[in-house]
Amino acid sequence: MTPDEAQEIADVGQVLFVDFEYLIINCTLYAFFISVYIYSQTYTPFRRKDTTGWAGQLLIGLLGTAFVIVTLNTLAYGIIVSLPGGLPAQEDAADSQPLLNVWGVIEIWTGNLIYLMADTIIVWRAWAIWDNRPVHWLLSILMFANIGVNIADSVADTRAELEDLVSGVTLDWVNVALSFAVNVVATSLIAYKAWDHHKAVKGISTRNKKTPVESILLLLVESGAIFGILQVALDVNQIPESNIGQAEGVIGNFYNFTAALNPVAIFILVQTQTTYEHSMHISSHIGKASTEISIQQSTSTPAIVPEASQSENNTPRESDDSQIQEV
């Protein structure tokens, strides 16, 4: 074996190791996404009458779109075309086959659409919580700017994929940075509402337990913070001459699936929290009702006793009267 052949085998082995690493992580995350998606479609609140409105239909449509996009993105990462020449032939032909170029374009657009969908959900919940026109204008401006940069980045990356050009890394970095800015603004607005509600409740109540509204707002803030951490990691990875380029696939996969899982996970957790609080509320009412019934029964018993005792006391008097009449 010549040194050139040994070096070629080492290069192929390194490429295969990285590819299988990405494939294992991607398939694991996709299996988790499928499980959550199936659970969301069979979950009871999706089949209730209150989800037949435009908001419920829009949410179900977004989840279905996310399923299709994530599936296409997973296939773009994991598709393998077998060739008679073995692994070296597959490596040489990887960049020259039109089918793989098409899958590369699908990967670009599906990935950016997943990011855009996640940003839309984050802005949507901040919009619903804030009934304020300036806040709505701020969120609209950020979201429209995000959409414009996202589309421009997708077009630039598609051109680079089809024409074998150098990709615009700066535009990728701007895209992720703007998405992070949208997340920070929307999550900060939700956090402010959560703190304002906490102060209002604390001023009128002495309980240390969180209210259902506080729990839901805190859940939205925590999910936005976790998503922001992944955005920072991906943003650092997009910086030119970054030393963590090998982690791009891993971070990108986590970011893709986190963005796709964010809407359905938040919906399930909020519905679970609401259902739990509702059941606890019903249980407390049942407990109070049973306590009131037992108290009424215990208080009604002495009221009957005097009547019985009075009837018993009236018996001798009636006998005395009869004796007087006989006399």
Backbone angles phi, psi at 261, to 5 degrees: -80, -20
CA–CA dist 66, 110 (Å, integer) = 9
pLDDT band at 279 (very low <50, low <70, confident <90, very high): very low
Question: Comparing C-alpha atoms, which of 77, 72, 69 is closest to residue 113?
Answer: 69
What are the residue ranges of helices labelled H in the chain? 3-42, 54-78, 87-93, 98-129, 133-163, 169-204, 212-237, 248-326
For domain 3-281, the CATH class is mainly alpha
Name the residue with tokens 């703007």: 178
Q: What is the pLDDT of residue 252?
A: 67
Residue 259's Cβ-side half-sphere holds a number of Cα atoms within 13 Å equal to 30
Over 90: is that where the pLDDT of 213 sits? no
pLDDT band at 137 (very low <50, low <70, confident <90, very high): very high
> Residue ranges of the domains in the chain?
3-281
pLDDT in tens, 23-39: 777 777 777 777 777 77
Global confidence as pTM: 0.62
Question: Higher model confidence: residue 80 or residue 263?
Answer: 263
pLDDT band at 3 (very low <50, low <70, confident <90, very high): confident
CA–CA dist 197, 142 (Å, integer) = 26
CA–CA dist 112, 101 (Å, integer) = 17
Least confident of 172-176, 231-235, 318-322: 318-322
pLDDT in tens, 303-323: 444 444 444 444 444 444 443
- CB neighbour class for 83 (10 Å; exposed up to 12, middle 13-18, buried from 19): middle
CA–CA dist 78, 3 (Å, integer) = 31
